[in-house]
Amino acid sequence: MKRAIPVLVLSVAGLIPVWRYEPSLGTPTTEAASPASTPSADSGSADTGSSESGSSESGSAADTVVKGSTVNTDKGPVQVEVTFAGDRITAVRMLQQPNHPQTTAAVPQLVAETLEAQSADVDTVSGATITSDGYKESLQAAIDAKGA
């Protein structure tokens, strides 16, 4: 009998977060995750906006903008748009992403790792595993579509 009261109290205390949990609605957003950059002859300078025209200011090669496939995840759809200068990835923009705090925090990290790795072989962001997997799948589809 002495153990029954603490067990009951701890059980109720453990259930309170479950009752209060509010799942994400999975509503896609179309905001840009990070500023796009354009290649230049020296090292590539950052641009404050994304270039929808797909043209390069360097004049050496035209930028190619490719949309990745839409990946439906448990949190919502994920889709990226990748800008290439030749074979180099110069920018990644989220066209669709779940409206979730972990996703919002993870996207800049995923984009930065993509620009560094120049591939879809990037680490999954802890706390945003589902979005990270959808991001990588959509990114790989864009890379494959560019190569075709």
Q: What does the pLDDT profile of the chain (148 residues) look like in tens digits?
A: 778 888 888 888 888 877 777 665 554 444 444 444 333 333 333 333 333 333 333 434 578 899 999 999 888 899 999 999 888 899 999 999 888 888 888 999 999 999 998 988 898 888 888 889 999 999 999 989 887 5
Whether 74 and 17 have beta carbons less than 8 Å apart is answered as no
Q: Is the pTM of this model over 0.75?
A: no
Strand ranges in the chain using DSSP code E only, listed in sequence order: 28-29, 37-38, 45-46, 63-67, 71-72, 77-85, 88-98
9-47 exposure pattern, b = at least 16 Cβ within 10 A, e = fewer: eeeeeeeeeeeeeeeeeeebbeebbbebbbbeeeeeeee
CA distance 97 to 111: 13
pLDDT score, position 23:
63
Residues linked to residue 37 through DSSP beta bridges, in sequence order: 46
